Structure 1
């Protein structure tokens, strides 16, 4: 028996389920410094979280010679992987996902991470069997292009109104809008919740517990 309102719940990863916002932003800053570039502003580094890595670096370090973005990406990964063990899922994320799974929702991840990075994170978090499908930025179009969400909807035969996107950035909410799907936002990730209004999220959660409770009651 399928849920009453949403069949498919698509979660962003970084900043929504995984408390990695600060680490990603710091890694971007340090990667730029390693290449002798001016350190990006912390808020600017946070803003690009959710995009594919190449898109994120091009936006936060504009004007860099195209042949140097590969080196910038390598330095980013060096710093991120060196400290990835220090961050974890937001408290309550596993319990929330388990409760939603018990309600027979299909659960998915739609992330700006690459496939290797997401698979590693899922293994570390012991969530490899939790999600019914996942999409990463290196195997489809980067957010906010709707392809990522359209592919997930097609996989399960779900219409846009039966799919809910949950994320912490305007990139996530724009992805949902571009795909014709409703969205829920969380305020504890990369973007200021005051920027979410134009996307008309059904709800803005200020904690994982608030998100859990809303999804159980309304999804």
Structure 2
């Protein structure tokens, strides 16, 4: 077996591990409609996925006044809760994570979800116990600020050159770049893969299988 290049591998959640982009996009649009804002296009709504919730909603609905943000957030949560049972893991995620754990990589989640949201998702999915650590947008700085990765690296004593970030958005890849870490983009999530090039990912994987194969050869 080749020598391991990365000790810590951090994954984004939505659009990288879970097939949730379309549902989150629709929930953002419905929430903005409910509070009387201009409904963002699919592309505009998908762009903010990965940011912290209120940062994302404010960006997606710039004409919604700040005093309506609590209502906007509540409406998003209402629509998301009604649809969360329809969100499923991408095929191949479980064997991918199992193979990485068998190679003794430290695995983490760096997500724009809230701590409550991530903990609920972990409990209700097959991923409980798969990760050694996690950071959420409400307990540290949201993406693309690099603080999530800085904190995870400090927690496990892993330097940037031994850390890899995997995500489906430019927010994920910019976070990695700012933290001095390598990154891998996936094209099956929220952002267009053509936007990744300037952020220097090691590779852009077009499926979970392709991601799995690359990691086994290169991580």
TM-score, normalised to structure 2's length?
0.98
Alignment of 1:72-111 (within 5 A): 72-111=72-111
- 1:137-174 Cα offsets, whole Å, 9 max, x none, are 00000000010000000011001010000000000000
Q: What residue in structure 2 maps to residue 192 of structure 1?
A: 192
Q: What residue in structure 2 maps to residue 31 of structure 1?
A: 31
- 1:44-71 Cα offsets, whole Å, 9 max, x none, are 0000000000110111111322111110
Separation in 2 of the partners of 1:95 and 1:69? Answer: 40
Q: Which runs of 5+ in 2 are unaligned?
A: none
How many residue pairs are counted as aligned between the two chains?
Answer: 218
Q: What residue in structure 2 maps to residue 64 of structure 1?
A: 64
TM-score, normalised to structure 1's length?
0.98
Separation in 2 of the partners of 1:34 and 1:157? Answer: 45
Separation in 1 of the partners of 2:128 and 2:14? Answer: 16
Cα deviation for residue 184 of structure 1 reads 0.3
Q: What SS class does the counterpart of residue 152 from structure 1 fall into? A: helix
Q: For the aligned residues, what is the CA RMSD?
A: 1.1
Separation in 1 of the partners of 2:49 and 2:167? Answer: 11
Structure 1 runs (4+) greater than 2 angstroms displaced? none
